[in-house]
Amino acid sequence: MGTVTIGVSIAVPEPHGSELQQLRAGFGDAAAHGIPTHVTLLPPTEIDEASLPAVEAHLAEVAAAGRAFPMRLSGTGTFRPLSPVVFVQVVAGAEACTLLQQQVRDPAGPVNRELQFPYHPHVTVAHGIDDAAMDRAFEALAGYEAEWPCTGFALYEQGADGVWRKLREFPFGGSVVPPQAGRVERGSVPIR
C-alpha cells in the first residue's frame, strides 16, 4: 500500500453546488470540474492508505457527536495578496465549521496536522487564475446568497488525475452510512 491524498469537507448542495462550480469554470479556473463545491474541514492531506479505516472511524465519531446547523453563504471575499483565492463567504455556520475542523484535526486523532493558514470557512470560486478573472469573480458573486441545513460532511480522495471523489458520507447525530452505500470506489466517475 502507498499513500493517498484525502480531504474532508461539507458539500454545497444542489442547485447551489453545480451553479457555483459552473461559475468557477466560467471564470477560467481549470480545476473547477475536478473539485466538488465545498467548505473545507481538512485540506488536502497525504496519509498512508492503510490508515484510511482509522480515519473513517475517527470521522464517524466526530459526526456522531455533531448536530445539524444552518449554513448561509453571502457575498464574496478574497485571500489576495497572501493567496490567489476569491471565495463566497460563510456568514452562518462558520463557528460550527471551525469547531468541526478542530475535531477532525484533533491532535489525538489520525489526521493531526498544522494548517498553512489560519482556518477561515469559505467556498472557493476562483483560485490561481489571472487577476482580471479574479476581479470578475469577486464582483459577479458579490450579491450571491444561498442557505441550507448542514447535516454532515464527507471524506474525499484526490485521484491521480487530480479529481476529488467522495469516499464516504458522515451524517451528524450517530446515524452511520455503511461504507458500501456511501463509498465510491477508486476510478469511478467524478462527482460533478
The pLDDT score that the predictor gives to residue 175 is 46
What is the model's pTM? Answer: 0.87
Residue 148 has pLDDT above 60, yes or no: yes
Residue 190 has pLDDT above 60, yes or no: no
Reported as a single tens digit per residue, the pLDDT across 53-64 is: 999 999 999 999
Which of 172-179's residues contact partners 24+ apart within 8 Å by CB, and which partners?
172/63, 172/64, 172/66, 172/67, 172/68, 173/63, 173/64, 173/66, 173/67, 173/68, 174/63, 174/64, 176/60, 176/63, 176/64, 179/56
DSSP H or E run through 38: strand 38-48
Please tell me what DSSP assigns to residue 190.
Answer: P
Query: Cα–Cα distance between 146 and 84 in angstroms, integer?
Result: 24
Reported as a single tens digit per residue, the pLDDT across 66-112 is: 999 999 999 999 998 888 999 999 999 999 999 999 999 999 999 98
* Average pLDDT of the segment spanning 36-42: 97
Confidence of residue 185 (pLDDT cuts 50, 70, 90): very low
Confidence of residue 116 (pLDDT cuts 50, 70, 90): confident
Residues 6+ apart with CB under 8 A from 148: 12, 13, 16, 70, 71
Would you give the distance in Å from CA 12 to the centre of its chain? 8
- Mean per-residue pLDDT of the chain: 90
